[in-house]
Copies of this chain bind each other. A is one copy, B any other.
Amino acid sequence: MKILEERIRKDGVIKAGNVLKVDNFLNHQMDVELFRQMGMEWKRLFEGCPINKILTIEASGIGIACIAAEQFGVPVVFAKKSQSINLDGEMYTTRIESFTHKKTYDVIVSKKFLGADDHVLIIDDFLANGCAINGLIELIDEAGAVLEGVGIAIEKGFQHGGQKIRDKGIRLESLAIVDSMDDLTGEIKFRQKS
């Protein structure tokens, strides 16, 4: 998506260790007009899919998911990060390893809000190793819901998360895929859509 790639070039900051900071418009300060255009693009890409719910994970996915949900006319459910698993059986739970924060946390979704009748689109801001997205896919499987696809704002194409998801036959639509970036020169290369 041209407008997102241009925004990353303009406002993104590449740091050592393959860190791409986009806190100016995506995950600390949030440009809701950009989010609306991203939502419209996912709506176009997933046209015809019987999506009735968007699933995301707190915190930075929530804003993008909500504004995308307006385009789809469906509710959002966000998975909550929890210190301790709720054992009363009312929750779907999984465990996610965060590469960025070097820690593991439990993630929960209430059984009330995800079930066998749901056709779910996952939305999140970033995809690198895919740990968070795979956790959400596990929750959808646990619920017996149908995964219609995954929409990501920025995929780090040089890490393996995206490829692994595509290899499972899951439809993944990343609006910008970074194939390489260099914190010394500031150069960033995006994957061309085939």
Contacts and interface: CB of A to CB of B under 8 A. Distances in A.
Query: How many subunits of this chain does the assembly comprise?
Result: 2
Interface string A103-132: 000000110110000000000000000000
A129 to B, nearest CB: 21
B75 A30 contact: yes
A76 B112 contact: no
Contacts of A28: 77-78, 80, 109-110, 113
B69 A66 contact: no
Contact of A63 (B29, B31, B33, B63): B63
Interface residues of A, number: 31
A143 interface: no
B36 A78 contact: no
A70 interface: yes
B69 A32 contact: yes
Contacts of A176: none
A62 interface: yes
Nearest to A67: B66
Interface in A50-76: 58-59, 62-63, 65-67, 69-70, 73-76
Contact of A76 (B30, B69, B73, B77): B30
B29 A76 contact: yes
A23 B29 CA distance: 25
A52 to B, nearest CB: 12
A109 to B, nearest CB: 8
B66 A32 contact: yes
A86 interface: no
Given A32-B70, A33-B73, 5 more contacts: A23-B110, A25-B75, A29-B76, A32-B75, A67-B70
